[in-house]
Amino acid sequence: MLSHKKGKSATDAVVRFLNSRVPGYSWVGIYMVEGEDLVLAAWSGPEATQHTRIPIGKGVCGYAAKTGRTEIVSDVSKDPRYLQCFISTKAEIVVPVFKGGKVIGEIDVDGDRVDAFSSLDGEFLEAVAGKLGPVC
Ligand code: SME
């Protein structure tokens, strides 16, 4: 079995990579499921978020964790589920991370322009999540 420490270094590496290498990925976080909540495990971006713990079912993040489906929000100002973190955020994508068929966490990416994310970003992040799940 892999240690928690190994999972932590994997999540740290993924957020750093996505934020620094993918154009338009302005802020990247990974939340892990803890009981009925999502808890921020790693993040990379210009500033910290106040949303370090989100109840499953709340916000775009909580919704994706509940349904196990990728959420692409083209314009956060038009989505009533959206929990605001950064004034600069215009779009968001949230991709669940699975292990053993269960949602164990998710990758959350904020973008600074409307329509920042396409279905290709969804496919890409689902592939990343697919690699991450087994090592968390
Ligand atoms: N916007 C998210 C909350 C997390 S922050 O974007 C970092 C949501 O609506 O769930």
Q: What are the tens digits of pLDDT across the range 48-101?
A: 999 999 999 999 999 999 999 999 999 999 999 999 999 999 999 999 999 999
**Does residue 71's CB lie within 6 angstroms of at least one atom of ligand 1?**
no
Which one, of 119, 113, 129, 101, lies nearest residue 25 by Cα?
A: 113
Beta bridge partners of 99: 102
Residue nearest to atom 1 of ligand 1 (CA): 83
Q: Which amino acid, residue 52?
A: T
Size of the chain in residues: 136
Strand spans (E) along the chain = 27-34, 37-44, 53-55, 71-73, 91-99, 102-111
Rg (CA), the chain: 13
* Continuous segment of H or E residues that includes residue 133: none
Give the pLDDT of residue 35.
Answer: 97
Distance 1 CA to ligand 1 centre (A): 31
Decide: pTM greater than 0.75: yes
Instruction: Say if CB 56 and CB 91 are below 8 A apart.
Output: no
